Chain A
Amino acid sequence: MRTIFATTFALAVAITAGLCGCAENPFLSSGPSPRVEDCAQLRQATPTEYYCDGKTYTSVQLSDIRNGVAPLSK
């Protein structure tokens, strides 16, 4: 149990330190919406499917949105 608490505490410290106002914090979301971390995973398939804000996307479509490629409508 001690190990579990220590691990959790260390993680919390790391995350909190990361959240404190750094310009490019890798733990924070950034980029155009919808972002994969904000979506619900519907099905692990080829490709994986997600639901976001009323629409269904594949992992490839979300990646294209993040990279600035014109997204395909689904």
Chain B
Amino acid sequence: MKLRWVTLLAALGSVMLLANVRTLYAQDGLPAAKSTTLWVDEGTGEVFVRPGHGRVPMTIGASPEQIQQQIEEQTQEKVRAAVAESEAQQQADRVKLEQQVASMQPAWHSYLNNFQNKFRIGTLAYLDYGYYTHTGFGPQWLENMNPPGVGNNGFNSFDINRVYLNTYFTPTPDYTFRFTPEIYRANGTASNDKIGTSTGVGTNLDGDLNVRLKYAYLQYTGLWKDVPLLKGGNVTLGAQPNPLLAWEEDFTQFRYVYLSPWNYLGLSSSQIGLQFNGPVKPYGSERTYVDYGFGVYDNGSFKSPEQTDTKQIMGRATIYPFGAKWRYDGLGLTGFYNYGYGNTAPDSDSLSTPLKGSNARFDRVAAILTYAAQEWNMLGEFDYGNNAFQLSNLYSGSGPLDAFGTATGTAIGTTGGVKYAGNTCTAAKPCYGVQDTYGPQVAGYQAILNNGRARQIGFDLLGHYHIPYTKLTAFGMYQWVLPNDNVIEDPLDFERFVAGISYQVNEYLRLAVDSQNLLFYHNQFGLPVSTLEQYNYVPGGTLNGRLLPKTGSFVIPDLVPRDMHTIFVNLEFAY
């Protein structure tokens, strides 16, 4: 009986246990969040599970959308915070970088400011158009002008006479370094070039406008800073303007139109050497009573290599008896002296030659009287020289071929032995005739100018006048030269005169229209060989491979050169 009751109780318990077992579903995630909405009676406060009159909803728990929105907002909040932190860091880094850059800038500013205050650059250009109503052989009107000679009336050209690029470096107030290149025209025969065995290239050495050094010097202006009498003086070393020409060109104010007298005769405007310049202001005055420049230089000019064992000296002194408030003010008396030696190496200087030419010792003197007012000025000059005007200076513009190594005209004697002017002319030794040639004349000029005893005398007058209330200035220059006053009647005596009017366009630009003229003023004549022989003409000598007239009574005709007349329009640009 007991076992039956146990079995029955166990079966009943199992049934009860199994009846309460619920189905266990697969676990596929967290149960979805669920919000519950109840309804509240606002009057009584009772909570109901259904809506009704007077009841408002009350939500318990958040919906998935709300939770998602909350998560997104939290995420964005975190992102914003991170971005703000990053920006703050960048700002801090930027500030730090700016401070570092700022600490570097003063060095650059200092350099640029110093450079701006200690460096100057400028330019000077002379350009022109010239129309030659009458061409001839003679000195250059201006640089880089080489017109064709006699028989080319109507020749005209645009020219570039001068282009400077002036640079000045002034690292300290007392020191200045100047560097000025300029252009020049290369003239000279040059052979074409050969490459390999069958290739040729044309030469470009003749006629090109090239660049060369004109001025390069170091100047110290503190030499007399503690000496009131001489304060403002300087010492200069290098290729620099000589004491006369720069002073005179600045006085005339028309360097872009014409050369000053000694410059026209061949004195170079740039010399390499050591020079002292300055004013003398006595009595504690601000007025200048003396203006000076003197120095020692190479015998060669700036464009030729030095060959000698000697040097030349130059000096100029200008006295202003009433004191000058500004440069050139009032009455001025100027004296200039130059003494030097021909630019020849010592081993050839001592050789005896009938024509010393450019090997001769030379000197130049100028005595100048000036008066300058603000709007006009005048200059009168007396010139004296020895061996200071050679044949090469006479033909610095252009000259006959016979003066440059090429015989012209028909040679006499090429077909057989012929007697002419005291010579026996053969094919091997032909003679110069006197027709259609300048050969004998050139030989005569060489004797007159290059004999080592030629004495120059000259007189010059120049000035300008500004026409009141206008931009116009009239100017003129007259020069009279006896290239060798030891010759009783020198066919080469000449006059040069310039007359024109200039127009001031602005502070940097001027134009001028002018007439320039070279007159060999003697009537045409010839000289016998015996007269020219006194000046070291060699009778029966040789020029360009031909024999020159020999007989003493033989007259070399037509020794007076042709005149030259030109109309110019000149332009100056200076900055």
Neighbour of A42 across the interface among B326, B513, B565, B575, CB < 8 A: B326
- B499 engages A48 (CB within 8 Å): no
- B504 engages A36 (CB within 8 Å): yes
Expressed in whole angstroms, the Cα–Cα distance for A22 and B504 within the complex equals 19
Total contacts A to B, CB within 8 angstroms? Answer: 95
Expressed in whole angstroms, the Cα–Cα distance for A59 and B507 within the complex equals 5
Expressed in whole angstroms, the Cα–Cα distance for A62 and B471 within the complex equals 15
Determine the main DSSP class of B at the interface with A. strand
Residues in A with CB closer than 8 Å to B461 are: none
Residue of A nearest to B168 (CB): A46
- B326 engages A3 (CB within 8 Å): no
- B506 engages A36 (CB within 8 Å): yes
Residues in B with CB closer than 8 Å to A41 are: 250, 253
B56 to chain A, nearest CB (A): 84
Q: Mark B379-390, 1 if CB is under 8 A from A, else 0.
A: 000000000000
Chain A binder among B117-125, B194-202, B554-562: B117-125
- B249 engages A44 (CB within 8 Å): yes
Residues in B with CB closer than 8 Å to A3 are: 133, 515, 565, 567
- A48 engages B574 (CB within 8 Å): yes
Neighbour of A11 across the interface among B466, B501, B504, B565, CB < 8 A: B501
A27 to chain B, nearest CB (A): 5
Residue A24 is within 8 A (CB to CB) of chain B in the complex: no
- A66 engages B507 (CB within 8 Å): yes
Residues in B with CB closer than 8 Å to A19 are: 470
Expressed in whole angstroms, the Cα–Cα distance for A47 and B517 within the complex equals 32
Residue B473 is within 8 A (CB to CB) of chain A in the complex: yes
Per the 8 Å Cβ criterion, residues 351-408 of B in contact with A are: 372-375, 377
Per the 8 Å Cβ criterion, residues 294-332 of B in contact with A are: 325-329
- A43 engages B255 (CB within 8 Å): no
Determine the main DSSP class of A at the interface with B. mixed
Residue of B nearest to A34 (CB): B374
- B327 engages A43 (CB within 8 Å): yes
Q: Mark B118-161, 1 if CB is under 8 A from A, else 0.
A: 00111010000000010000000000000000000000000000
Residue B503 is within 8 A (CB to CB) of chain A in the complex: yes
Residues in B with CB closer than 8 Å to A27 are: 470-472, 503
- A46 engages B328 (CB within 8 Å): no
- B499 engages A15 (CB within 8 Å): no
Expressed in whole angstroms, the Cα–Cα distance for A48 and B120 within the complex equals 12
Residue of B nearest to A46 (CB): B122
- B575 engages A43 (CB within 8 Å): no
Q: Taking each of A41, A43, A56, A60, which has the highest tally of chain B beta carbons within 10 Å of its own beta carbon?
A: A41
- B574 engages A36 (CB within 8 Å): no
* A contacts with B, residue count (CB < 8 A): 34
Expressed in whole angstroms, the Cα–Cα distance for A15 and B325 within the complex equals 34
Residue of B nearest to A2 (CB): B133
Residues in A with CB closer than 8 Å to B530 are: none
Expressed in whole angstroms, the Cα–Cα distance for A41 and B252 within the complex equals 9
- A39 engages B565 (CB within 8 Å): no
Expressed in whole angstroms, the Cα–Cα distance for A2 and B513 within the complex equals 16
Contacts A11-B501, A63-B507, A66-B507; is A37 near B473 (CB within 8 Å)?
Answer: yes
- B326 engages A63 (CB within 8 Å): no
Expressed in whole angstroms, the Cα–Cα distance for A46 and B119 within the complex equals 11
Residue B283 is within 8 A (CB to CB) of chain A in the complex: no
Neighbour of A44 across the interface among B466, B503, B574, CB < 8 A: B574
Neighbour of B575 across the interface among A4, A47, A52, A66, CB < 8 A: A47
Q: Taking each of A43, A44, A52, A53, which has the highest tally of chain B beta carbons within 10 Å of its own beta carbon?
A: A44
- A59 engages B250 (CB within 8 Å): no
- B374 engages A40 (CB within 8 Å): yes
Expressed in whole angstroms, the Cα–Cα distance for A15 and B474 within the complex equals 12
Neighbour of B326 across the interface among A15, A26, A38, A51, CB < 8 A: A51
Expressed in whole angstroms, the Cα–Cα distance for A43 and B574 within the complex equals 11
Q: Mark A4-41, 1 if CB is under 8 A from B, else 0.
A: 10011001000100010000001111000000111111
- A28 engages B326 (CB within 8 Å): no
- B124 engages A44 (CB within 8 Å): yes
23 contacts between A and B (CB under 8 A): A3-B133, A3-B565, A8-B499, A11-B513, A19-B470, A26-B471, A27-B470, A27-B472, A37-B466, A38-B466, A40-B377, A41-B250, A42-B328, A44-B249, A44-B574, A45-B122, A46-B122, A48-B574, A54-B325, A56-B326, A59-B574, A63-B506, A63-B507
Nearest first, the 6 A-B pairs at minimum CB distance are A46-B122, A59-B507, A37-B504, A51-B326, A63-B507, A46-B166
Q: A11-B501, A52-B374 provided; 4 other pairs, C-beta below 8 A?
A: A29-B471, A36-B506, A40-B328, A44-B574
Partner-B contacts on A (CB < 8 A): 3-4, 7-8, 11, 15, 19, 26-29, 36-48, 51-54, 56, 59-60, 62-63, 66
